[in-house]
Amino acid sequence: MKTEETRAGAEEFARLADPFRRELLAYCYRMLGSVHDAEDLVQEVYLRAWRSYADFDGRASLRTWLYRIATNTCLNALEHSSRRVMPSGIGAASDDPPPPGLRAPEVTWLEPFSERLIGRVPEDPAAIVAARAGLRLALIAALQYLPGRQRAVVILRDVLAWSAAEVAELLDMTGAGVNSTLLRARARLERLVPASDEITEPDDPVRRELLDRYTRAFEAADIPAITRLLTEDANWEMPPVPAWFTGRDDIARLLRARLSPGPGGNRLVPTSANGQPAFGMYMRQRDGLLHAHSVQELAVARSGIVHISSFMDERLFGYFDLPLVLAD
């Protein structure tokens, strides 16, 4: 009898709690800056929630209760982890391409977030734009410089649009405390997050045409054509390589050193990450096959490509539903 009751309770918990799993994954990613860590934390959140489900009294909604558990779990994890960064957050831009194989494994790097992990998108166009803005890589990188509690307040208030009263209840704070914390966090983020007013949306025809030109130039290893698509002060980063590059000339020098020469050596497969266009980049190896190399995320404005973050981590390809070896 006890086993049947336990099974019924587990089925009820799964039916009620599973619809929130994807949004909790995005929330934990915003807090931690890592999709791998976020997945582990969400597993822990649901385990803790199931163990405490018998004590859930329904005074708050199940969603709020799960967010409380997720927030506390993330804050505890942040006490024992290093801040996740991009190369531009640890040193000055480089002039010369680094030697092949250079890595900085001791650094805890930021990771991109695949939009396919979010699931259903809002129907309201304004809500879609807000959701993308709340996942932009520049914002996630800047959030990592805030104390954990400030991160939670900013995400809940400015990204998820919770009221001050709801956040106060979740974090055991006063409404005044939430508002003052939010003001401090916003002031710091304004100094850290670059202006994004010019960043275009995915359905912008100018951006679509620019991305098509970028794909053709990249796959042809046409470096002059690639650099013409960049803004003058564009940046290129390649975690876990600690070096990063700014400006067309230095980026062109990097590409000449790193791209397989001639057509056929490089391939881009379109995807999306952090509300921005992205590509799975493949490079032809000695066996003649195209192997996973990096996930490129692009920030695109009407004036050109502003920033390229090339994450050289094969483990990320699975999150984007991309194969490790690409058929020609």
Distance, in Å, from the CA atom of 163 to the CA atom of 168, rounded to the nearest integer, reads 9
| Helix, strand, coil in percent for the chain, rounding step 5 | 50, 20, 30
Cβ 114 vs Cβ 267: under 8 Å: no
Of 22-26, 127-131, 263-267, 273-277, where does mean pLDDT reach its minimum? 127-131
Q: What distance, in Å, lies between the first and last C-alpha atoms of the chain?
A: 58
- CB 109, CB 252: distance < 8 Å: no
Structural contact between residues 137 and 274, judged by C-beta atoms closer than 8 angstroms? yes
Q: Which amino acid is at 33?
A: G
Residue-level pLDDT at 236: 97
Residue 197: pLDDT band with limits 50, 70, 90:
very low
The highest-level CATH class for domain 83-136+196-328 is alpha beta
The per-residue pLDDT for range 266-319, each reduced to its tens digit, is 999 999 999 899 999 999 998 999 999 999 999 998 889 999 999 999 999 999
pTM: 0.90
Average pLDDT over residues 33-37: 96
The predicted structure's pLDDT at residue 298: 95
Helix/strand number for the chain, H first, E second? 12, 7
Average pLDDT over the chain, rounded to an integer: 89
> Where along the chain do the CATH 3.10.450.50 domains lie?
83-136+196-328
More confident residue, 191 or 71: 71
Burial 87-126, CB ≥16 within 10 A → b, else e: bbbeeeebeebbeeeeeeeebbbbbbbbbebbeeeeeeee
- Outline which parts of the chain fall under CATH 1.10.1740.10: 1-81
- The CATH number of domain 1-81 is 3.40.640.10: no
Q: Which pLDDT belongs to residue 132?
A: 65
More confidently predicted of 201 and 158: 158
pLDDT in tens, 158-190: 999 999 999 999 999 999 999 999 999 999 998
Could you report the per-residue pLDDT of 83-128, keeping only the tens digit for each?
999 999 998 999 888 877 778 878 899 999 998 887 665 554 455 5
Sign of CA dihedral 188, 192, 196, 197: positive
Instruction: Confirm if 122 and 128 have CB atoms less than 8 A apart.
Output: yes
> Which one, of 215, 238, 214, 245, lies nearest residue 228 by Cα?
214
